[in-house]
Amino acid sequence: TKTPVTLLGLGAMGTALARAWLAAGHPLTVWNRTPSRAAALTAAGARAADSAATAVAANTLTVVCLLDDASVEETLNRTDLTGKDLVNLTTGTPAQARARAAWARERGARYLDGGIMAVPPMIGVPDAGAHILLSGSRELFDQHRQTLAVPAAATFVGEDAGFAALYDVALLSAMYGMFAGAAHAFALIRGEDIDPTKFAPLLADWLVAMAPAVHQTADQLRSGDYTKDVVSTLAMQVAGTPTFLTTAEEQGVSPELLTAYFTLMRRRLAEGSGEEDLTGVIDLLAR
């Protein structure tokens, strides 16, 4: 028999999670502030509870996927969490996750905080690459590992409840850096007789080819030796930056997305780190 699940929050993500658990045969109790959003799910076999408190009372395992931490507080503050297993998949900061974990423990619940590394269409689709990062109670994770892995691959990242949120924000921050670079690249080619749909495959392949560089960065951070296995030195790379800035100027494109990073590279070079890789930039970011 499959573990029964209570799910609070039927937005775009909550609904996708609900469908995955239903499809996998888990008995599902749902609640949403706006009750009409539960209709399609009850037709598919879910039970709709008339309050969050009733929904939580129905099962031991409760998953919450609401807008933000304030809506979690508002939804759960009048529910009895004694003896419950609470998994909060609402996006928040590490500090919010840690505070919510302490709050749940005080109310007698085990707690896991999670970050969903996926968009709703990836949920419940095998091999779509969706991940749920979870941190907090290892006992809760071990007990419900299979249930939590139904919507997406579930990875436990530590007993510090803030770690899932920290990983989540770190991964998404790297994504925004990638989007920033892609935006600059598209801006450079725009205005020329270049089909962006012909350029995009080259860009995607290049980003994938460069992605493994993060392993070398990690290795250098761990060893503390930023010259280890360096292929392109900081000195060489800084010497190349005028080409990027002049090309932007020639194409009538603002260099603002590049200059933030180039400024850090130059500062690191000025500290006498020309033989290093780019890893020293990370030291400059730490306040």
Q: Quick one: tokens of 155?
A: 């990875």
Residue closest to ligand NDP when measured from CB atoms = 11
By CB under 6 A, residue 255 contacts ligand NDP = no
Angle at the Cα of 280 (from 274 to 284), degrees rounded to 5?
120
Q: Does 172 bind ligand NDP (CB under 6 A)?
A: no
Residue 34 binding ligand NDP, by CB under 6 A: yes
Decide whether 47 or 268 has the Cβ nearer to ligand NDP: 47
Q: Which CB atom, from 13 or from 112, has the smaller least distance to ligand NDP?
A: 13
Out of 24, 57, 74, 186, the only residue in the binding site for ligand NDP (CB under 6 A) is: 74
> What Å distances lie between residue 101 and 68, 83, 138, 166, 262, CA to CA?
15, 14, 13, 14, 40
Q: Taking CA 87 as the corner, what is the angle to CA 81 and CA 93, rounded to the nearest 5 degrees?
A: 110
Q: How far is the CB of 43 from ligand NDP (least distance, A)?
A: 17
**DSSP state, residue 235:** H
Residue 15's identity, in one-letter code, is: T
Closest CA to 248 of 194, 190, 167, 207: 190
Q: How many residues does the chain have?
A: 287
Q: Which of 24, 57, 67, 182 touches ligand NDP by CB under 6 A? A: 67
By the rule CB under 6 A, 119 interacts with ligand NDP: yes
Count of residues engaged in binding ligand NDP, rule: CB under 6 A: 21
- How far apart, in Å, do the first and last CA atoms of the chain sit? 51
Q: Is the separation of the CB atoms in 263 and 238 below 8 Å?
A: no
Our finding on whether 91 is near ligand NDP (CB under 6 A) is yes
Q: Which is nearer to ligand NDP, 152 or 185 (CB)?
A: 152
Q: How far is the CB of 269 from ligand NDP (least distance, A)?
A: 38
Contact residues for ligand NDP (CB under 6 A)? 9-14, 32-34, 37, 65-67, 71, 74-75, 90-91, 116, 119-120
